[in-house]
Chains A and B, each alone.
Chain A
Amino acid sequence: EVQVLESGGGLVQPGGSLRLSCAASGFTFNSYAMTWVRQAPGKGLEWVSGISGSGLSTYYADSVKGRFTISRDNSKNTLYLQMNSLRAEDTAAYYCAKLAGSTVYYGMDVWGQGTTVTVSS
């Protein structure tokens, strides 16, 4: 079964850091681009970051550029999101999603259940 499973969410103080992980299984991980999408409580979906299958190309939303870093370890079938300088407005459920191809232009065809990040003092 093709699936992705996020972990690493939690409560962090403003200005703090957190690293999210996304374990993938059931597909050839390095053949597919991956992405992070977040959803603040009661709000719509917001794309956060994407990475190509090779890991050579990365993309970020303006709201997180310079603070978040996306990476992947294709030997471990795992996607990461390093989040630094966290702000209250980063509070959201963070979803990991597989794209249907090797670049970020494809649709997001497999989603995890999400991990919650709360930024608060």
Chain B
Amino acid sequence: QSVLTQPPSVSGAPGQRVSISCTGSSSNIGAGYDVHWYQQLPGAAPKLLIYGNINRPSGVPDRFSGSKSGTSASLAITGLQAEDEADYYCQSFDSSLSARFGTGTKVTVL
């Protein structure tokens, strides 16, 4: 069972900004482990979107940004586009020596 909690869904109109939270604890995010974010388009494998809390792999638009503070992290999407409609997952490591994914958030573009 996941110990990283995300909102089930967020939505926004094209061009708007949306934010997805990822709430952990002192045994994972709060312990200093990095947070990574993944985008999963319908029917596709996940894709790394943000690594090491704030870094974007080459090819990922700068509309996507990550942040981390305390026991939580956030993914922001600015200038929302129709192609951003997907499921998004945060991921970190836990002091129990397990990687953890967040519960997942479905982004809907209105």
Interface set of A (CB-CB < 8 Å, partner B): 35, 37, 44-47, 50, 59-62, 95, 97, 100, 104-109, 111-114
Chain B residues lying within 8 Å of A45, measured Cβ to Cβ, are 38, 40, 46, 89, 91, 101, 104
Chain A residues lying within 8 Å of B68, measured Cβ to Cβ, are none
Flag B34-77 by CB within 8 Å of A: 1 or 0 each.
10101010000111101110000100000000000000000000
Interface set of B (CB-CB < 8 Å, partner A): 2, 33-34, 36, 38, 40, 45-48, 50-52, 57, 87, 89, 91, 93, 96-104
* Additional 19 contacts, C-beta under 8 A, given A44-B104, A106-B51, A113-B45: A35-B99, A37-B101, A44-B89, A45-B38, A47-B99, A47-B100, A95-B45, A100-B51, A104-B93, A104-B99, A105-B93, A107-B52, A108-B38, A108-B46, A108-B91, A109-B48, A109-B51, A111-B46, A112-B45
The residue in chain A whose Cβ has the minimal distance to the Cβ of B104 is A44
7 contacts between A and B (CB under 8 A): A35-B99, A45-B40, A45-B101, A50-B99, A95-B46, A105-B34, A113-B45
Asked whether B46 lies within 8 Å of A105 as measured between CB atoms, the reply is no
Asked whether B51 lies within 8 Å of A111 as measured between CB atoms, the reply is no
Chain B residues lying within 8 Å of A59, measured Cβ to Cβ, are 97-99
CB distance from B49 to the nearest CB of A (A): 9
